Amino acid sequence: MAEHPAHAAEIDEAVRKANSHWLKSGLPRAQRRRKAEELTDHLDAAVADGRHVSDVVGNDIVAFASEWAQADRERNWVEAALFLVANLTLWVGLLALLGPLIDGRERSGMPADVALAVELAIVAAFAVWLVRWFRAQLSKQLAVVLYCLITATYLASILVVVRPIGQRDLDLELSPVVVGVLIAVGLAAQGLSIWRKRTDRT
């Protein structure tokens, strides 16, 4: 470990940021632990040799962490597929199930503006996730611009598209069996994804 407290804190902070990015990227716990251990070991040795943390990871720790995580991309495609299946099926199933509750009326359906706002939020979340996915190929500035664009587009679409629709009904008529299957598939995909992240597979 770095002997100087300031260096130790700097190393801890760099590893914490990298680890946080790997966690958000969906890297399995075993891989996160392994990478964090290896990075700490390297930074300790580099600092002991009189170099700075930035000499190792550069000035953009997220870009560094993202590039390293992408080296395991083969496995992450599986995570991506599970993520898509889990979210699409769960959201559609839950919208169909909870529509009448949100609507406040007895029949099936939910307010069109609420449904559209939720759907746009899903699209926006997916866009954010895509930017994070390709973070290693983007400069920090470009990533910030893209995040701002996504947020601005979402807010603009709420004002321009969603608000004028108002409280008209948007029926999402699915049979209870279909809704049940969608939610079950979504939960299974989500469970499988969590299990993969928690299982040691190095």
Partner 1 sequence: MSADNEARASRLMRGILDACLLALTSERDRYGYELAAALHDAGLLTVKEGSIYPLLSRLERRGLLESYRTPATGAPPRRYYRITAAGQRELASARTVWREVAGGVDATIGRSEHDPEDITHG
Give contact residues for partner 1 (rule: CB under 8 A).
1, 34-35, 37-42, 44-46, 49, 55-58, 64, 67-68, 70-72, 74
Token code pair at residue 164: 């004028």
Judged by beta carbon, residue 68 or residue 91, the one nearer partner 1 is: 68
Token code pair at residue 49: 């040799």
| Residue 50: burial class (beta carbons within 10 Å; 0-12, 13-18, 19+) | exposed
Looking at the chain, how many residues does it have?
A: 202
Judged by beta carbon, residue 24 or residue 42, the one nearer partner 1 is: 42
Judged by beta carbon, residue 57 or residue 92, the one nearer partner 1 is: 57
Judged by beta carbon, residue 175 or residue 202, the one nearer partner 1 is: 202
Measured from the CB of residue 134, what is the shortest distance to partner 1 in angstroms?
15
CB of 14 within 8 A of CB of 39? Answer: yes
Measured from the CB of residue 38, what is the shortest distance to partner 1 in angstroms?
5
Measured from the CB of residue 129, what is the shortest distance to partner 1 in angstroms?
21
**Residue 91: closest CA among 186, 199, 166, 190:** 186
